[in-house]
Amino acid sequence: MQRFYFPDLEKETDSVTIKNKDFINQLTKVLRVSEGFEIIFFNGEDPVDNIFEVASIDKREIYLEKKSEIENDSEIEFDLNIFGALPNKIEKIEQIVAKGTEVGITGFYFFRSERSQKLNLSENKIARIQKIITEAAEQSGRSRIPELIIEDNISLSDFAENENIFFHTEANDSQSLKEIKLDYTKGLNLFVGPEGGWSDDEISHFKNIGFKKVHLGNRILRTETTGVVAGFYFIQK
């Protein structure tokens, strides 16, 4: 059954009228819906999938009636965020948010590190990234839309109450994923460096404010792979 994010959907809503031309076109021309066709709507907040049935359809609007609702327990019980240094290509951000949303990441924060290369993100490009997140949530059965924040700078001290780890390719004075001990109730933030890695100053700063240094074994993973793989590991642990 096809799922769609419907942010204005109230829990008490018993019918929906769709008038958006693009949405109508998607339903009628792509999905070929007809009367009796069932669709799932979720609002991104309540852990519920709402099942609606197409009651009537024409060129200007589609009217649906609510048939039932089912509990959606797909979300994890703690906050798990990827903090990614801006990569050199927008396609890498798109991969991170798409796959990260599928595995259960709850938030994506992108910022400029010392070794981040120049990457200009217009409002249209950011809107496209948000759309990718929404579509991944629809496809993967999520009941929540992960948060997206893109800023030039972030204050690391704002996250001092969370569990914070940063990834580094060197195993010296670092722990593996299996070795690290974490309190998930505090929320977990995964800091992933750019293609050139973290600078010495950034590593020193991470350590000084209590961030934990973690390595991923003998393999060197790409920036678009690291956070997603580690995030999935912690979700399954």
Name the nearest CA neighbour of 194 among 155, 223, 164. Answer: 223
Residues 118-127: tens digit of each pLDDT: 888 999 999 9
Assigned CATH for 80-236: 3.40.1280.10
Helix axes 223-236, 90-103, angle to 10 degrees: 10
Residues 165-183: tens digit of each pLDDT: 999 877 678 898 888 999 9
User: What is the model's pLDDT at position 11?
Assistant: 80
User: What is the model's pLDDT at position 171?
Assistant: 63
Q: Where in the chain is the domain with CATH 2.40.240.20?
A: 3-71
Q: What six digits make up the tokens of 52?
A: 């609606």
Phi and psi (nearest 5°) for 25? -65, -40
Q: Which fold has domain 3-71?
A: Ribosomal Protein L25; Chain P (2.40.240)
Q: What stretch of H or E contains 62?
A: strand 62-71
Chunk the chain into consecutive blocks of 10 residues (it has 237) and report each block's average pLDDT, rounded to whole numbers.
92 91 92 95 95 94 96 96 95 97 97 90 96 97 97 88 89 84 95 92 92 88 94 93
User: What is the model's pLDDT at position 36?
Assistant: 95
What 3-state class would DSSP assign to 158?
Answer: helix
User: What is the model's pLDDT at position 90?
Assistant: 95
Cβ–Cβ contacts within 10 Å for residue 73, how many? 8
Distance CA 172, CA 93 (A): 29
Q: Where in the chain is the domain with CATH 3.40.1280.10?
A: 80-236
